[in-house]
Chains A and B, each alone.
Chain A
């Protein structure tokens, strides 16, 4: 097995801000040599929390560390002419460049024509909103996702951790690798224009299908799932349990039949199953034609049943009984999950900036032909300046000093 990752031969220049970090992080996970390029004072996103003990420190932003682990880091002011010249030298031997400048800022024509240039912006490089400023909540709004989250009739909701940079970074990496495949066969690089708004559209799951099919607008249901029955029945999905919440609904189809019957059997053990549930023929039950009365009948005893269990107990029982349902987990539950331990999912990395060992989410996929590569901690500001400028570009210490004096690096 190869030790050095699926994309080991390639180099990535990562000029992105927080809206593009994940793209480079993914390529680094896959073994590429990713160089994070920050302005001389460091990325502004180093000011995004959380921080240890809530004390802001540009070297200790857990947000920055999360999505820049695995990268090397240098500083460079690409707005200065000498900085731009250095960028071109770096780019002449790079395979990918990731950037998040406002549309039109970066002139691609001077770059090595093999380069795959990935641009991530809120709305894309052109179009009526291309110069609009955005942030996560604005993009969650403009993508339609917010309209589908929250209680009907109440304020729609976002997820309380930015998700738009995740979707954008993920799809940017996919676009980059499609362009890369083409480049390796033809020697021609190209431009990948990623819209964060558009990247969020798949987060809406099948909601667009309701409009495309019947011009029916899908609606948010709070803690209830909508759109599963043609009668308009809504199904409660979030149930309180002893120490939190569980996500469970009844399903149709073969898997649903098994799961629904297991639920009734479990209720029966606690004397909670009603006669009509005990006698229900799940082979004749169709979720797509279920009525609100049918759904409501199941809800009461289900709520009583789940209150008898903790999240972890529910997960064990659901697994054993072949029921479709999972706990509403928080980060602590996830860190403690024995299944992830079985899979050796976590990568334990010593994070020098924090002086501590941290468990990072491991690689997003297991590749049978390569060992999971251990990634390096996130770079400090300019940590690899000497290694790259002197070691690789061959700058002298005098040239380095002049660049530092001119605040280029």
Chain B
């Protein structure tokens, strides 16, 4: 490491979040992982949905500091409380922004302006401010103001239609608000690019992210296919037009499965050897990829009969050592003991007053010189009021106390 390098890449960057649920806060968490000081503004009058409306709660006892999803999305972030319905609180928020580099908000379009915290107003107190506005469908257009959640937007963005047991079969959910997390990645990229632009030019800017439009980036081939061939992609179960066998096969135990993907004839020969099935290798129904695609139902049945006799882990190891692509269908609990994820320190256990400890999620990329540092668990509501208002805004302890008594810092 060179003498002038820093421990964390984003040290010295300060971020203020007026954000809720996942799509906003997780961007802040990612910046915090690399050293930015991230301050989330919340209020007792308008708590994050993940504090109150969504399980899991620690030991199934609801409580504003017991929301497990809140914990997952808000580590590395400081927390202050301001009741933004009050003019004094808005003025304090602006003072805080004047000391910051980046603002993140993910309310429905128009809400942040109505709170008195729109970009043009904030730019007056911080001329080179970078502000990320992330909402369902963007800041402009006929449906800009539509309120919604990622669980449904994932369907409008095309993903649900592409997920099902076969062409014409009903669509299946992708579990959660998938597209929110796509928007997190793109929002993070946009903010980082704007930071570089500001460093070079001195100009900040307002970034408009439509979560819907970020999702469409992930299905571009289907969008082009619809134009070029007039074809609407249909769900294919677990099949792939370029491979056979290709899918998820049952293994020993309840709800245990192993994924196998064979893209060419060499891989097929390797699978037959690894499975000790010379009769498959010699079977005219399965000689070439075209043969295997034609007879895929029979092929899948044979593979499933074989895989059902073994543990998924054993199948994966046996096929991988023969150079065949295979992987256990890991459950969520499996992820917490997956040797590969543990090797990368994917889960970072940090202490928290209500959870005891909580395993926070580290980023999926490892930086060789400035590794991510997960230092703090999710903050308690208003935990950093004194630090932020006294140390950053330079107010006296008595002034802060008065504002608390008045319900401004609340």
The total of chain A residues at the interface (CB under 8 A) is 165
Q: Which residue of A is nearest B208, CB measured?
A: A366
Collect the chain B residues with CB atoms within 8 Å of residue A350's CB: none
A128 touches B142 (CB 8 A): no
Collect the chain B residues with CB atoms within 8 Å of residue A48's CB: 242
Binds B, one of A80-88, A354-362, A396-404: A354-362
Bound CA span A194–B368, Å:
11
Collect the chain B residues with CB atoms within 8 Å of residue A215's CB: 333
B227 touches A181 (CB 8 A): no
* Secondary structure of the B contact surface, majority rule: mixed
**8 Å CB contact of A206 from B176, B188, B199, B320:** B176
Query: Least Cβ distance of B60 to chain A in Å?
Result: 6
Collect the chain A residues with CB atoms within 8 Å of residue B218's CB: 161, 163, 166
A147 touches B220 (CB 8 A): no
A335 touches B141 (CB 8 A): no
Query: Least Cβ distance of A143 to chain B in Å?
Result: 7
Q: Is B87 an interface residue (CB 8 A)?
A: no
A326 touches B153 (CB 8 A): yes
B225 touches A172 (CB 8 A): no
* Secondary structure of the A contact surface, majority rule: mixed
Query: Least Cβ distance of B191 to chain A in Å?
Result: 9
Collect the chain A residues with CB atoms within 8 Å of residue B324's CB: 133
Bound CA span A168–B363, Å:
11
A367 touches B205 (CB 8 A): yes
Bound CA span A209–B332, Å:
9
A157 touches B62 (CB 8 A): no
Enumerate A181-212 residues with CB–CB distance to B below 8 Å.
181-182, 184-188, 190-195, 197-212
Collect the chain B residues with CB atoms within 8 Å of residue A365's CB: 186-187, 189-190, 207-209, 214
Query: Least Cβ distance of A114 to chain B in Å?
Result: 11
A186 touches B6 (CB 8 A): yes
**8 Å CB contact of A369 from B55, B173, B205:** B205
Query: Least Cβ distance of B292 to chain A in Å?
Result: 15
Query: Least Cβ distance of A61 to chain B in Å?
Result: 9
Using A324-B148, A364-B214 as known contacts, say yes or no to A209 and B56 having CB atoms under 8 A apart. yes
Query: Least Cβ distance of A274 to chain B in Å?
Result: 24
Binds B, one of A225-233, A263-271, A276-284: A225-233
Q: Is B232 an interface residue (CB 8 A)?
A: yes
Enumerate A144-161 residues with CB–CB distance to B below 8 Å.
144-151, 153-161
Beyond A138-B326, A212-B71, A245-B155, 15 additional contacts (C-beta under 8 Å) are A178-B34, A180-B192, A184-B196, A187-B4, A188-B4, A190-B370, A195-B340, A197-B341, A205-B175, A208-B335, A209-B69, A340-B213, A343-B141, A358-B228, A361-B213
Q: Which 10 A-B pairs have the closest CB atoms?
A: A205-B176, A213-B68, A175-B365, A127-B343, A198-B364, A177-B192, A141-B259, A182-B9, A247-B155, A326-B156
Question: Please, could you name 10 A-B residue pairs with CB atoms under 8 Å apart, sorted by A?
Answer: A6-B196, A65-B224, A147-B257, A148-B174, A149-B174, A186-B4, A188-B1, A208-B361, A228-B55, A328-B171
